[in-house]
Amino acid sequence: MVKEANIKIKNTIDYFKGAGLSLIATQDEIIDWSHAAAIAFVVGDVNRWPIIGSQGEISVEFESYVRELEPKISEFTNMKVEDPLCCPVIFDRAEWIVTAIESIKPLVDPLLEHVVNALYKQRGGSLKLTQAAATTQMGTVIGYLSKRVLGQYDLPIVDDISPIGKLYFIYPNIEAIEKRLGLESRDFRRWLALHESTHGFEFESNKWLQSHLRSLIDRHTDFIATKINASRGSADNRLNPVSFFFSGSLKEIVNVRNNKILSEIQAFMSLIEGYSDYVMKRLSRKLIPKSELINELFERRRRSESWAERLIEKYIGLDIKLKQYEIGESFVANVVDKGGMDLLNHVWSGPESLPSLKEIEEPALWIRRVS
């Protein structure tokens, strides 16, 4: 089985090289992106999950849902967008993996450059072992996610030329969930489009959020770089290259409890996810006949996951994302109960109006601050 997987990985790498895709690592890069993509293809079992039917026709179907829902979202949230949201793009797993890597690479590479400088260029030594560990981890995580992601609002964080986000739907995963849970396709796809389109309204109605998110990411990269440099110069240097990459979320050098920037990022993502989840659940009750059943089935699906799935999700941080949905939605519901959508939408006034993580957990603190 291992031999078969290695053959698949090699064949996929050869495909990337033949296609001229710019995922090949240079000598100084920790992640061999081509190899990571090949591993993701194997983990994601992409060949067994092709799209059956015309992607163009499926895109038209999802676009009809988005166009139907846009005025409903605007009316419910009191948010306006200057232009219609982008036409949905329909992906299979392989296409999503390549797109995900192209989005992740420019965010991850600057951070890893600091790691290379700290652990290798100024110390000497080979990158091979660490590259293998980091590449395997990245490919495994992306491959696992390629089986889980249903839809995505992809906001360009690095590319200033394309400020408008894109709506992605991973069709093989959508079909698989519909069959597994016995969902009616039209209801479920409108439910999914409602969630992702609400993300579109959040960012397209409040253009400053894009630059703010980029600022958070840049500040966090600088923070981690500072930690790496400090650990390099300390007498008690316990920064081991291999364990560094297998620790998950760089836990050896980031103390989440004392990391103010990471706390800001978690609060921001909790608000974004919680707001969208709140709108989806409340608005879908009016628009989608079986929305309550869909919510119930998804919750039941989550509770019935195997211990292995739960372990993987905890390791890659997906459990944190699910927690963001919960505390973010609770914050939104509490604020709406106290002052309606007008009070809640004050969060979009500017960076100073965004709730802290403590305020997300205790909405009364935020309400008191902005009232």
Q: Are β-strands 89-91 and 151-154 bridged in parallel, bridged antiparallel, or unpaired? A: unpaired
Q: What percent of the chain has pLDDT over 90?
A: 42
pLDDT at residue 249 in the model: 40
Above 60 in pLDDT, residue 241? no
Over range 12-18, report the average pLDDT. 53
> Is the model more confident about 295 or about 242?
295
Burial-class residue 280 by CB neighbours within 10 Å (0-12, 13-18, 19+): buried
Give the tokens for residue 47: 């060949």
Domain count, the chain: 1
pLDDT at residue 168 in the model: 95
Contact between 120 and 19 under an 8 Å Cβ cutoff? The reply is no
Domain that holds residue 130: 2-370
Over range 64-72, report the average pLDDT. 97
- What's the chain's average pLDDT? 80
pLDDT at residue 24 in the model: 47
| Top mean-pLDDT range of 40-49, 85-94, 122-131 | 85-94
Among the ranges given (101-105, 128-132, 184-188, 229-233), the one the predictor scored with the smallest mean pLDDT? 229-233
pLDDT at residue 299 in the model: 72
The CA-CA-CA angle for residues 348, 164, 318, to 5°, reads 70
pLDDT at residue 19 in the model: 45
pLDDT at residue 307 in the model: 44
Give the residues across from 153 on adjacent strands. Answer: 167
Burial-class residue 304 by CB neighbours within 10 Å (0-12, 13-18, 19+): exposed
Among the ranges given (63-72, 114-123, 337-346, 358-367), the one the predictor scored with the smallest mean pLDDT? 114-123
Three-state secondary structure string covering 100-137: HHHHHHHHHHHHHHHHHHHHHHCCCCCCHHHHHHHHHH
Determine the Cα–Cα distance for residues 200 and 144; give it in Å rounded to an integer.
25
Determine the Cα–Cα distance for residues 26 and 33; give it in Å rounded to an integer.
10
Give the pLDDT band of residue 341 (cuts 50, 70, 90).
Answer: very high
The pLDDT tens digits for 150-196 are: 999 998 776 554 567 899 999 999 999 999 888 999 999 999 999 99
The pLDDT tens digits for 82-112 are: 889 989 999 999 999 999 998 888 888 877 7
Q: Which of 114, 122, 120 is CA-nearest to residue 221?
A: 114
Give the tokens for residue 227: 């930690």
Give the tokens for residue 205: 């109605």
pLDDT at residue 246 in the model: 47
